[in-house]
Structure 1
Amino acid sequence: MNPALQRGHAALQARNVMEAIQWFERALEEHPDDAQAMSWLGQTLCSVGRRAQGVEYLRGSGRRLLEKARQSGDIGPVLEIAQQMQQWGDFPGAHDLLGPAAALKGTEFRVFQMLAVALSQLNRTAEALEAGRRAHAIAPANVMMQVLLASLEADAGLDEDARGRLERILAVPPPAREAFRAHKELARVLDRLKAYDGVFAHLHAAGRLSGALPEYAQQNRALLPDMIRANTAGFDRDLMGRWSDTAFPQDLPPPVFLVGFFRSGTTLAQEVLGAHPQVRVADEADFVWAMQRELHRMVGGGGSTADKLRTLDHMGILHLRTFYWNRVRDRLGDAVGARTLVDKFTLNTLDVGLINTVFPDAKLVFVLRDPRDVCLSCFMQLMVASPATAHLLSWQGTTSFYATVMAWWQHIKPQLTMDVIEFRYEDAVGQFEATFQRVFEGLGLGWDASVKDFHEHAAKKYIATPSRTQVAKPLYASSVARWRHYEAEFAAVAGTLEPFIEAFGYEAF
């Protein structure tokens, strides 16, 4: 192994990431075609938020490994690099490797399984289903693949096929993880088939199984409620408006922050906004979270975010804005340019106090939806494990977490000093043009008729939320008042949701 590469590995083991990057860069300088050095440099750059650079190195490594595979017939290294690319959200790049790899070795289960995932994430539904069928044909006893194939069948509209497959899987109880996913998928399929009476039994079964899954069991469920309590106690109008009259440098402009609650319509909003030629959307990027970490690095000790913001002077705020924009450029490269950046991270709702303090000149777009439809959709949806989604595994947990977050929003909204544009998902569906004309006007952007074709743009790219298949289709109204199919299930949680139903102007139970 290249000595510089060895030293890079040693630096990583010592958790000195920046030193590791320097060694990997040296390894690549000494051996410019070294696919291994490219891979390690790419992974490490991605891990520190320099995704635009990191992905390019991963792609370069993949191209070289693919050339070697064409000579040797060994596609294993290609699959490893494709897996890394998928881990960092580069599904287009992964697909560019997996397609040729599948052509080289048409009997390899893993290549077709990964290809099915990549194509699914890119909304190429028919091709994803075909790849899934190829993988299943190679390994018909693989239960994980059976569940994935059922999901692909459902995405392709083959709901009866998916239902039969999932019921057969569950008839011979599979391992907990596959059973959990199968119950979630079957609930989704039964809902689409209007077999409403069977949906909640599968959702409750999935919830019971989730306790056996380490990725959910290890989540700190107290983290976000504790954070909300600290923010409620710490943020006020005086703190958030402290820098409202400050003129900030033009190269540190205020983004637009798009927030709400899970499944409230933020992905629809991001795709409509992103279809405007003067807008660039960052989809579920960690810019605000990273900025908060930088604040805690700047101001040591165990104080709250609000307490630490109070200690900053003007230069401190400028540092945080500079850090934020450096993180954006590391992630997106030069893709933003002169366009308006829309930073869409749904649960940045919890950090609007921090956002308002650092970016008092920003605009905040908040998407509301009927609380009953929000909670139903959250409970039904299979989501990546996190401290937030760990609350969405039970019906009571889902509605309680919704109430906690939205009570915070009700508390902080009147105290915000930045401009807030709030709209309802139902209005976007029923009065699309009028609703989004108002949003674009509030953002200082002219109306562009091309945004009406947002679904065509969405169908051609990777979207980092479970709503990717919905926003790749023209608007439909079937998701409005969907909760009425499950009215009996709401009796147990009505007291939790009623204050928000009334406050947001929705029809009572």
Structure 2
Amino acid sequence: MGVLLELGRVLGLLQDFSQANRVFTRLLKISDRKNQPILLAKIAELSQDFVDQTVAGSAFARAATHGSVDLLAKYAEFELKHRNNEKARNLVERALEANPKYPYALLIKARLLREGGCASEALQLLENISDSGDIPSRVKAAYEKGQILDLLGDYDSAYNAFLEAKKPLMTYRQKAIHIRQLSRETFNEIAQCLTQRQVDRWRSEQLDRGGSSYNIALLGGHPRSGTTLLEQILMSHSAVNSTDETENFNIFAYSRVMNKTSERNALKAFDSLSNAAGARLRTDYLRAVRRSLVKEGDFEYWIDKNPSLTAIAPLLLRILPEIKFIVVNRDPRDVILSCFMQCFYPLDTIPANYLTLADAADEYCGVIRNWKTFAAFLGDSVCEVNYGDIVHDLPSVSRRVLSFMGLDWSPDVLRFNELSKDRIVRSKTAFDVTRNIHSNSIGRWKNYEKHFGPAIDKLIPVMD
């Protein structure tokens, strides 16, 4: 059973969704009927990482017919993530009818209340999640409590709630910092070894492009800098489509290169690619991007929105000489506060570096220092945008970015919040990007200034 589950997961991550579905269907056919609800729940959990969320939605819907309270709550969370709030509300009510004190169902109901503007009621509900609840419920409830207290202007209590949320996660901190440091060493090597001659050669080398040159850009920056907002604005243009924080480059290019060479220096490994090998990587990566595009149909311009690739941006140039780079910058103090406040659970290596403000500052500096080195070599293929300018003067910023992309301006970009309501947004800011643009997040760090401590000094070298 475990082998088939893993096979289905891998096929889904490789974007062979039909084959993944066949594997999961076969698994269900050969399994004991009484075990099917558990299997369906596992399939739903695993397939949430797929770009295509159809498999996860179908598995959740089938499993929910068996009435497990935990499953109903997780299905509600899935629907809430996809902004199907009414469906999520109905699922939560079903769960709470079966068990009125079930922590995870109370948590999802609190989120629904917060998003519906009932912050005080949501806060009261969270008090009913006892300390005896499971760790995921306690962690997520404390983060949710922090978000609500922040909305209510009780910043000291909000900060303490975030600290409470992080307590069970601190055991992972040192290991995660060590692992991330190894990655930073790779990124630093790229920054230290990259030369203008190398960049110019990559641009001039004629990879076999199958007769096509693509209009494509990486939309990057540090996480929580405003990339999701700009993505939704640009995608409101009729000529633009986007992928949303996929693993396409890592799966179809980076890992393939690094797994087939003894060379540990990523820059040297990519630089030594033959034209034929580079062309194969290019073809596979672009095919994956096409499959991952949010909107259906043919579009003139593709965006790979992926802040995590900012730290290795030049490597994309090796297989895509025509690629452009759109990077969003934001006040670093607001960025690291936003990272600190965000609930990343289960914890991954990068979010584990946001457990303290000082750690988040170290992570930010590492990414941005390297990006600034890269940008100096990339010349007119770079367009940098300030988050504050997006908020205060969207017409001018959108004109500048679209002109950089070679596209005419469209008034539709000013209606991005309306046009994005039916799109799947993988980022945790999915709820925010459907609201009218606002300046609430600008200067937010000042509410927590006394808690920043050494983080402020760490950020000085990257403050513009």
Q: Note closer, same or farther for the CA distance 1:477–1:54 as it changes in structure 2 (3 Å cut).
A: farther
Q: Note closer, same or farther for the CA distance 1:182–1:118 as it changes in structure 2 (3 Å cut).
A: closer
Q: Which stretch shifts more, 322-331 or 191-200?
A: 322-331
SS in 1 for 2:362: helix
2:164 equivalent to 1:208: no
Name 2:111's counterpart in structure 1: 151
Q: Which stretch shifts more, 355-364 or 430-439?
A: 355-364
Unmatched tracts of structure 2, length 5 or more? none
Q: Note closer, same or farther for the CA distance 1:163–1:139 as it changes in structure 2 (3 Å cut).
A: same
**Contact 1:276/1:450, CA 8 A, preserved across alignment:** yes
Name 2:411's counterpart in structure 1: 449
Alignment of 1:203-352 (within 5 A): 203-212=162-171, 220-247=179-206, 249=209, 250-251=211-212, 253=214, 255-290=216-251, 291-298=253-260, 300-329=261-290, 331=292, 335=296, 337-352=298-313
1:80 shift after superposition: 5.1
Letter of the 2:156 counterpart: D
1:98 shift after superposition: 4.7
Partner Cα distance (2:55, 2:397) in 1: 36
Partner Cα distance (2:302, 2:450) in 1: 43
Name 1:353's counterpart in structure 2: 314
Name 2:425's counterpart in structure 1: 463
Superimposed CA distance per residue, residues 102-132 of structure 1 (whole angstroms, 9 cap, x where no aligned partner): 5x55x54245223312220111224323322
1:344 shift after superposition: 0.8
1:455 shift after superposition: 1.8
**Contact 2:173/2:355, CA 8 A, preserved across alignment:** no
Superimposed CA distance per residue, residues 128-184 of structure 1 (whole angstroms, 9 cap, x where no aligned partner): 2332232123123433333333233323322112212323435x4544443322221
2:154 equivalent to 1:192: no
Counterpart pick for 2:72 among 74, 90, 112: 112
1:329 shift after superposition: 4.3
Partner Cα distance (2:224, 2:293) in 1: 25
Partner Cα distance (2:391, 2:303) in 1: 21
SS in 2 for 1:493: helix
Query: TM-score if structure 2 supplies the norm length?
Result: 0.87
Letter of the 2:355 counterpart: L
Superimposed CA distance per residue, residues 221-249 of structure 1 (whole angstroms, 9 cap, x where no aligned partner): 32332222222232222222212234553
- How many residues matched? 458
Larger radius of gyration: 1
Letter of the 2:203 counterpart: S
Partner Cα distance (1:162, 1:388) in 2: 29
**Contact 1:43/1:54, CA 8 A, preserved across alignment:** no
**Contact 1:92/1:118, CA 8 A, preserved across alignment:** no
Name 2:15's counterpart in structure 1: 50
Q: Which stretch shifts more, 430-439 or 110-119?
A: 110-119
Partner Cα distance (1:78, 1:352) in 2: 38
Letter of the 1:438 counterpart: R
Counterpart pick for 1:132 among 57, 82, 92: 92
Partner Cα distance (2:412, 2:319) in 1: 33
**Contact 1:399/1:497, CA 8 A, preserved across alignment:** yes
1:42 shift after superposition: 5.2
Unmatched tracts of structure 1, length 5 or more? 1-8, 14-36, 504-509
Letter of the 2:182 counterpart: L
SS in 2 for 1:372: helix
Query: TM-score if structure 1 supplies the norm length?
Result: 0.80
User: Share of identical aligned residues, percent?
Assistant: 23
Letter of the 2:144 counterpart: E
Superimposed CA distance per residue, residues 271-320 of structure 1 (whole angstroms, 9 cap, x where no aligned partner): 1122222122011111221211122244x103311111232343333233
SS in 1 for 2:433: coil
- Alignment RMSD: 3.3
**Contact 1:52/1:330, CA 8 A, preserved across alignment:** no
SS in 1 for 2:321: coil
Counterpart pick for 2:338 among 377, 381, 404: 377
SS in 1 for 2:179: coil
SS in 1 for 2:440: coil
1:465 shift after superposition: 1.0
Q: Note closer, same or farther for the CA distance 1:419–1:478 as it changes in structure 2 (3 Å cut).
A: same
Q: Note closer, same or farther for the CA distance 1:201–1:77 as it changes in structure 2 (3 Å cut).
A: closer
**Contact 2:271/2:318, CA 8 A, preserved across alignment:** no
**Contact 1:176/1:213, CA 8 A, preserved across alignment:** no
Partner Cα distance (1:334, 1:154) in 2: 29
